[in-house]
Amino acid sequence: MNILIKSMTGFGRGEYIDQDLKVVVEMKAVNHRYSDINVKIPRKLSFLETEVRNFLKKEIQRGKIDVFITYEDLADHTADVRLHEDLAREYFEAINRLSLSLGISNDTTAYRISRFPEVLTLEESEMNQDNVRHVLTESLGLALAQFTESRVNEGENLSKDILSKLDGMTEKIAVVEQRYPQMVSDYRKKLETKVHDLLEDANIDESRLATEVVIYADKIAVDEETVRLRSHISAMRAELLEGGSIGRKLDFIAQEMNREANTILSKCNDITISNVAIDLKTDIEKIREQVQNIE
């Protein structure tokens, strides 16, 4: 069973609601050499940030991923009134001392003391951490599923396009292989004509001519390069069919392909082969651009 190829670009959104809480997770990613995960999470949910990050690291091998988490508290009351009794007692005792010192009556009531600073405070209710973890996990799972689906779809399109370009490269290599013997034959004819013109009616030294042709043929020989190019194409095709996290492997193979195409271009002064080699380099560059976006 082939493993799916994933693009490094993608987007996903997940939303989960229960009776007390609503959490929304949004994820987006672009290509990156390594795995770079950024999590933006509200302070009240920050105790779960490490869990979110570790979970995503297991699922995503490469890419720059930005994760945005928001929440809405749906509970009937989200704050509690807190009585700071020790502070209230200190206020009361201070008022008593003031009453005795000034010789006036103390008509203090509990209501009046409650209005003094910090006697009564409104504090947010503590969240149920297990419930928060559950709601966030559900939202994250939904977002990741959509995110992964978008990456797989894009990865499949990239794979099909690269395979198509590899087929085209194979056809171009065949042109080079067919043209090479003709180049040698054309060179021999030109050499014979040039020698004949120089020597006029004198006999041509066939052994010397053959030696020159062999030297030329060896100089422009590209059979090793075409064999290696075919091997690299086969290797890349096999990786694409196997699937998985193959981006780095494909990038290395593309670099090797480019090296062989450069050598072919530098060896041959034949216009046909030169044009084909340039086309090969163009195809390889397009493949490299696409490979950069594969996980």
**Residue 5 placed within a domain:** no
- Please indicate, yes or no, whether residues 158 and 214 belong to a single structural domain of this protein: yes
Residue 100's domain spans which residues? 79-124
Q: Which tens digits make up the pLDDT trace of 110-125?
A: 888 888 998 888 776 6
Q: Indicate if 190 and 102 belong to the same structural domain.
A: no
Asked whether the predicted pLDDT for residue 20 surpasses 90, the reply is: no
Residue 92 lies in a domain: yes
Whether residue 176 sits in one domain with residue 162: yes
Considering the domain architecture, whether residues 148 and 235 belong to the same structural domain is answered as: no
What pLDDT is attached to residue 180? 76
Whether 168 and 245 map to the same domain: the answer is yes
Confidence of residue 127 (pLDDT cuts 50, 70, 90): confident
Same domain, 43 and 168: no
For helices 206-220 and 129-199, what crossing angle results, to 10°? 160
Write the CATH number for 272. Answer: 1.20.140
Q: Residue 70 maps to which CATH number?
A: 3.30.230.40
Q: Give the per-residue pLDDT at 126.
A: 72
Whether residue 20 is found in the same domain as residue 120: no
| H/E segment holding residue 13 | strand 10-17
Tokens linked to 74:
């749906």
Give this prediction's pTM.
0.69
Find the mean pLDDT for residues 170-194: 75
Is residue 117 assigned to a domain?
Answer: yes
**Is 2 inside any structural domain?**
no
Does pLDDT of 252 surpass 90?
Answer: yes
Return d(Cα 218, Cα 210) in angstroms, integer. Answer: 12
User: Has residue 8 got a pLDDT over 60?
Assistant: yes
pLDDT at 202 over 90: no
pLDDT of residue 210: 62
In this predicted structure, what is the pLDDT of residue 28?
96
Inform me whether the pLDDT recorded for 17 exceeds 90.
Answer: yes
Rounded distance, CA 114 to CA 83, Å? 9
Number of domains forming the structure of the chain:
3
- Cα distance between residue 51 and residue 59, in whole Å: 13
**Same domain (yes/no): 24, 145:** yes
Write down which residue in 152, 167, 189 finishes a domain.
152
With a pLDDT cut of 70, the percent of the chain lying above it is: 84
Is residue 3, in this structure, part of any structural domain at all?
Answer: no
- The predicted pLDDT at position 133 comes to 94
Across residues 219-226, what is the average pLDDT?
Answer: 77
| Residue 240 pLDDT greater than 70, yes or no | yes
Q: Is the pLDDT of residue 143 over 70?
A: yes
d(CA 204, CA 154) in angstroms, rounded, equals 64
Span 56-97, pLDDT tens digits: 999 998 899 999 999 988 876 566 788 889 998 999 999 999
* 142 and 48 in a common domain: yes
Do residues 230 and 200 share a domain?
yes
Phi first, then psi, for residue 21 (nearest 5°) are: -150, 145
Q: What is the mean pLDDT of the chain?
A: 86
| Residue 114, SS3 per DSSP | helix
Per-residue confidence (pLDDT) for residue 208, from 0 to 100: 65
